[in-house]
Amino acid sequence: MNEQSTNGQQHSTLESGSAAAGNVLLDVKNLQKWFPITAGFFRRTIGHVKAVDDISFHVLQGETVGLVGESGCGKTTAGRCILRAYDLTGGQIYFQDHDGKMVDLGPLTNNEMKPYRQQVRMIFQDPFNSLNPRMPVIDIVGDPLKINRVAAGKELEDHVASLLARVGLRPEYMRRYPHAFSGGERQRIGIARALALDPRLVVADEAVSALDVSVRAQILNLIKDLQEEFNLTYIFVSHDLSVIEYICDRVVVMYVGKIVEVAETEELFAQPFHPYTEALLSAVPNPDPRMRQQKDRIVLEGDVADPANPPSGCYFHPRCRYVQDQCSQETPELREISPGHFAACHFAEELTLAGVTASGELG
Amino acid sequence: MESPVLIEIKNLKTHFFLDEGTVQAVNGVDFTIHQHKTLCVVGESGCGKSVTARSILQIVDQPGRIVEGEILYHRPDRLSAAANGEWTSGENGANGNSSTEIIDLAALDPRGREIRAIRGQDISMIFQEPMTSLSPIHTVGNQITEAIKLHTDMLDDEADEHAIELLRRVGIPRPEERLDTYPFELSGGMRQRVMIAMALSCNPALLIADEPTTAVDVTTQAQILELLEELQDEFGMAIMLITHDLGVVAEMADDVVVMYLGQVAERGDVDSIFHDPKHPYTQSLLKSIPRLGVSRNRQRLDSIRGMVPDPYNRPSGCMFGPRCDHFMPGRCDAVNPPPISLGPEREVHCLLYEDE
């Protein structure tokens, strides 16, 4: 518990450092989500998968924050906790209400959550599973409007038509069912549904991962355009660093339920302070065959640690190139290394890690 | 310098006969795979890249079948010698003067002995989803030794030894113990390594890898790609790598085939594809990917307008015509562009280059 309180202190410095720069829309503090592992006839709990283990970060009004990491790092769980699709194990999620007050979404009941569900919306990864195949597009996009009594009848139809037009679909198609659309078009429907209630925060969970290259660029551009038009704030969850770099203002790197690094995108990619971030950047294949020889790719040993049974000390130490004795014993805290740049590594100051230079080479 | 030809695909057509109509999944594809080289086939979903690979092994799912074309397999001597004891070659058998025998894989019976002897022995394949392509009810050891015992006359003990050696080679720790584990006990990266070990068990001449890293994380992807490169140096097999990720292509390929809607758009060596792309599709594809370090400075990505057409309603003329910025009315929608040669092993299917 000692660890938690120090983390809390750390976070308050974080806030005072950067909150002045803008208006904090979402402030996540010491968020925890543990899933029980049960066994036996009585489903006794024998342990926990610490999917998200004590993470703190904030999101400013109008910015795009990326949550990046490998499968099992807790980035999706963190996104779903913010939507309160899961009940929290611990921590607070402060969301700025319309009147500027910060409300903790954590303890709210389903009924109390209702007004906030209009303001925090989600775009899902798989455009095939996230749309009900038995509902026509007008119902998929229009139901949130109906349920929240925003519009009905002819007005609803007009509203849906304008939403569809805005995401680049022809309004005449609103009576069609999802199967009549391609992957990219379905993702547009998903985006229209997320935008139907004029949300303030949109959590996009791997929103372009299932799409083809040429369509992915269209959707990324659309997501950017909509942000300008509707003054949206995004939390963009992805494993794809090149997409993250393109779309995000700030990036949160996660590893096995913990945050290992937070920084502005440019700074994170140019000068990472955590060895895991360095390895992630190095692992991204560079789409230029002439870079092949120059690149000294870091290949990590082994697999991502098991969140039910994480290693001691720093969770990354069994795979780290720069591991020292201290790493297996003490858990590093997320510390501010340079202004606005946080890393959880004992040796962040001493290591000189390679980032990606502007020309795409590894510096 | 130029290494010998291993597989020559000529005008391959694989169609699927469905109730709704015929899907021309692969419609007139030509390319060549060289020994010891890596060929990457790149394209978006539905472009026919996987069906092309499956056609080589004659494992196209029903109701699809090869309707036209040739897949000429130039069997290396080492494998001919091994196989000749068991069965005599196909109709194009070894000539007196040439030592390599040429087999037309497209003409073989998909259920026949000849193709079954080639699968796993001469040509093997790894798939995208290691969880669904490994049997969940057989141990890892069982699945690897099955292929070994089928194609060689090794005894059980020897096959086990060989399997352990292979697992060690693909970087699985404590391979002796892993032999008795089931796939569900392994992580995604480990399963893909088991698949690779199984595919290499008979030292094939060609390894077909169908999106081998799409389902795994970036750091695991880096491990698997590195492993494939090492194994290629060691075993000397050719690799046909199917992917939609241009980054992977740039890292791995010697030669590249760009496919669009069942046809080849462009093919050539990796450097010319990335630095001198000719086909408008290749050009826009390269512009539409976000690049690390570069994309921050650019406001918008160039995207290709529209989407891949419905396979039942293919456009007339050039398949890419409706989405192309260089579309020439009256020509591009009238003729399906023939291959235009721009040099050795360099071809583009586009009317823009007709005069050259």
User: Mean pLDDT, to the nearest integer, of A48-75?
Assistant: 89
Q: Is the pLDDT of residue B242 over 90?
A: yes
User: Mean pLDDT, to the nearest integer, of B193-215?
Assistant: 89
Check CB contact of B174 with chain A, cutoff 8 Å: no
Check CB contact of A242 with chain B, cutoff 8 Å: yes
Average pLDDT, chain A: 85
* Residue B96: predicted pLDDT: 40
**Integer Cα distance of A308 and A35 in angstroms:** 9
Contacts of A303 in chain B (CB under 8 A): 187, 189-190, 220
Length of chain A: 363
**Integer Cα distance of A238 and B95 in angstroms:** 56
Check CB contact of A136 with chain B, cutoff 8 Å: no
Return the top range by mean pLDDT from A147-156, B31-40, B76-85.
B31-40
User: Mean pLDDT, to the nearest integer, of A169-191?
Assistant: 88
Q: Is the pLDDT of residue B106 over 70?
A: yes
Contacts of B308 in chain A (CB under 8 A): 182, 212, 214
Average pLDDT, chain B: 85
The structure tokens 């000294």 sit at A296
Within 8 A by CB and 6+ apart from B292, the residues are: A241, A242, A245, A269, A281, A284, A286, A356, A360
Do B218 and A217 lie within an 8 Å CB cutoff?
no
Q: How confident is the model at residue B356 (pLDDT cuts 50, 70, 90)?
A: low
Contacts of A221 in chain B (CB under 8 A): 300-301, 303
pLDDT in tens, A18-37: 444 568 999 999 999 999 88
* Residue B83: predicted pLDDT: 60
* Residue B84: predicted pLDDT: 57
Contacts of B295 in chain A (CB under 8 A): 242, 245-246
Measured in angstroms, the CA of B169 and the nearest CA of chain A are apart by 15
Q: Is the pLDDT of residue B85 over 70?
A: no
User: Mean pLDDT, to the nearest integer, of A240-260?
Assistant: 91
* Residue B174: predicted pLDDT: 86
According to DSSP H, which parts of A167-230 are helical?
183-195, 213-230
Do B289 and A70 lie within an 8 Å CB cutoff?
no
* Residue A295: predicted pLDDT: 63
Q: How confident is the model at residue B97 (pLDDT cuts 50, 70, 90)?
A: very low
Q: Is the pLDDT of residue A115 over 60?
A: yes
* Phi and psi, residue B295, nearest 5°: -70, -20
* Residue B99: predicted pLDDT: 57
Contacts across the A-B interface (CB distance below 8 Å): 154
User: Mean pLDDT, to the nearest integer, of A77-85?
Assistant: 89
Q: Is the pLDDT of residue A114 over 60?
A: yes
Check CB contact of A357 with chain B, cutoff 8 Å: yes
Q: How confident is the model at residue A358 (pLDDT cuts 50, 70, 90)?
A: low
Measured in angstroms, the CA of B6 and the nearest CA of chain A are apart by 24
Q: Is the pLDDT of residue B250 over 80?
A: yes
How many of the other CB atoms lie within 10 Å of CB of B50?
21
A259, β-bridge pairs: A254
* Residue A305: predicted pLDDT: 82
Check CB contact of A248 with chain B, cutoff 8 Å: no
* Residue B295: predicted pLDDT: 56
Q: Is the pLDDT of residue B1 over 60?
A: no
Q: How confident is the model at residue A300 (pLDDT cuts 50, 70, 90)?
A: confident
Do B274 and A287 lie within an 8 Å CB cutoff?
yes
User: Mean pLDDT, to the nearest integer, of B170-182?
Assistant: 88
**Integer Cα distance of A234 and A224 in angstroms:** 10
Largest CA distance in chain B: 68
Do A359 and B294 lie within an 8 Å CB cutoff?
yes
Residue of B nearest to A358 (CA): B293
Of A17-26, A61-70, A212-221, A239-248, least confident by mean pLDDT is: A17-26
Residue A362 DSSP class:
B
Q: Is the pLDDT of residue B266 over 90?
A: yes
Measured in angstroms, the CA of B76 and the nearest CA of chain A are apart by 29
Measured in angstroms, the CA of B256 and the nearest CA of chain A are apart by 11
Do A220 and B301 lie within an 8 Å CB cutoff?
yes
Return the top range by mean pLDDT from A18-22, B29-33, B128-132, B284-288.
B29-33
* Residue B328: predicted pLDDT: 86
**Cα four-point dihedral sign B282, B283, B285, B291:** positive
- Residue ranges covered by each domain of chain A: 271-358
Report strand pairing: B255-260 vs B263-269: antiparallel
Check CB contact of B220 with chain A, cutoff 8 Å: yes
* Nearest one of A265, A240, A257, A270 to A344, comparing CA atoms: A257
Measured in angstroms, the CA of A222 and the nearest CA of chain B are apart by 10
Q: How confident is the model at residue B178 (pLDDT cuts 50, 70, 90)?
A: confident
Contacts of A265 in chain B (CB under 8 A): 296
Q: Is the pLDDT of residue B79 over 80?
A: no
Q: Which of A221, A285, A358 sits opposite B250 (nearest CB)?
A: A285
How many of the other CB atoms lie within 10 Å of CB of A132?
12
Instruction: Provide, rounded to the nearest whole percent, the portion of chain B with pLDDT above 70.
Output: 92
Q: Is the pLDDT of residue A14 over 50?
A: no
Q: Is the pLDDT of residue B292 over 70?
A: yes
From chain A residues 258-297, the ones with a CB under 8 A of any chain B CB are 265-266, 269, 279-292, 297
Contacts of B218 in chain A (CB under 8 A): 70, 239-241, 280, 283-284
Give CA separation, B184 vs A21, A243, B218, in Å: 49, 31, 21
B55-71 burial, b for 16+ CB within 10 Å, e for fewer?
bbbbebeeebebeebbb
Q: Is the pLDDT of residue A259 over 90?
A: yes
Contacts of B225 in chain A (CB under 8 A): 285
Contacts of A283 in chain B (CB under 8 A): 218-219, 221-222
User: Mean pLDDT, to the nearest integer, of A196-210?
Assistant: 88
Q: Is the pLDDT of residue A97 over 90?
A: no
Q: How confident is the model at residue B217 (pLDDT cuts 50, 70, 90)?
A: confident
